A and B are shown apart, each in its own frame.
Chain A
Amino acid sequence: DAGVIQSPRHEVTEMGQEVTLRCKPISGHDYLFWYRQTMMRGLELLIYFNNNVPIDDSGMPEDRFSAKMPNASFSTLKIQPSEPRDSAVYFCASRRRESNYGYTFGSGTRLTVV
């Protein structure tokens, strides 16, 4: 089991550019979550999917953020246009419904918008 795989590990982009973060969840996991880590707010949930369907996107900060899960093995988080305040570490996580051990997180994507 390769775990949750995120790419890229680091992304530096200029303000106004489009950024796409990618995630491959663990095979067989029903849920996929996108979190953002900042010093002020810790780990905040942006959106999560159940069986590829978005369930709760109330944490998405604004319309510049969008997420998709076209199939059970792939999800993207897109920011268009990006702004310096979007700089953070973005984590993807997945879990099986029956699990009592919470989520398995990927290693994160560190996004820097200059």
Chain B
Amino acid sequence: DQQVKQNSPSLSVQEGRISILNCDYTNSMFDYFLWYKKYPAEGPTFLISISSIKDKNEDGRFTVFLNKSAKHLSLHIVPSQPGDSAVYFCAASANFGNEKLTFGTGTRLTIIP
């Protein structure tokens, strides 16, 4: 039972354009969401998060949008840069991040120069 789903295993985007990565969840108890970025041979690193009391959180080129009614969140990267090529994992937690994280299967983003 995959409670956090990333339905696109891969995505290719031209450098300078917007990258949009999507994530859906099924557990209505989730109230804190995070995105992690992973390079080959390294562990995932925290990128950005959002609490369910917000619908948008922005940090530089990265913005996360949350649609609670649709149980959907997305990560926007603009403009996309070659260094953004990585695997992106969506994660969710209950109790505002104080419970364990449940991860999706990841989306491999490739930025084309």
A interface, CB within 8 angstroms of B: 4, 33, 35, 39-45, 48, 56, 91, 93, 97, 99-108
Do the beta carbons of A45 and B101 come within 8 Å of each other? yes
- Interface flags, B38-78, vs A, CB<8A=1, else 0: 00011111100100000000000000000000000000000
User: What is the distance, in angstroms, from B50's C-beta to the closest C-beta of chain A?
Assistant: 11
Given contacts A4-B43, A91-B43, 18 further A-B contacts (CB under 8 A): A35-B103, A39-B105, A42-B6, A42-B104, A42-B105, A43-B44, A43-B103, A45-B102, A45-B103, A48-B100, A102-B34, A102-B97, A103-B46, A105-B44, A107-B42, A107-B43, A108-B41, A108-B43
User: What is the distance, in angstroms, from B91's C-beta to the closest C-beta of chain A?
Assistant: 7
**Nearest 4 CB-CB pairs, A to B?**
A105-B43, A42-B105, A43-B103, A102-B34
- Which of B34, B43, B103 gathers most chain A CB within 10 Å? B43
In the complex, A4 Cα to B41 Cα: how many Å? 14
B interface, CB within 8 angstroms of A: 2, 6, 32, 34, 36, 41-46, 49, 89, 91, 93, 97-98, 100-106
Please indicate the chain A residues that have their CB under 8 angstroms from the CB of B100 in the complex. 33, 45, 48, 56
Please indicate the chain B residues that have their CB under 8 angstroms from the CB of A56 in the complex. 100
In the complex, A113 Cα to B76 Cα: how many Å? 38
B41, B46, B105: the one within 8 Å of A102 (CB): B46
In the complex, number of A-B residue pairs with CB atoms less than 8 Å apart: 57
User: What is the distance, in angstroms, from A69's C-beta to the closest C-beta of chain B?
Assistant: 15
Do the beta carbons of B44 and A91 come within 8 Å of each other? yes
Q: Residue on A with the closest CB to B5?
A: A42
In the complex, A102 Cα to B44 Cα: how many Å? 11
Do the beta carbons of A93 and B105 come within 8 Å of each other? no
Please indicate the chain B residues that have their CB under 8 angstroms from the CB of A44 in the complex. 103
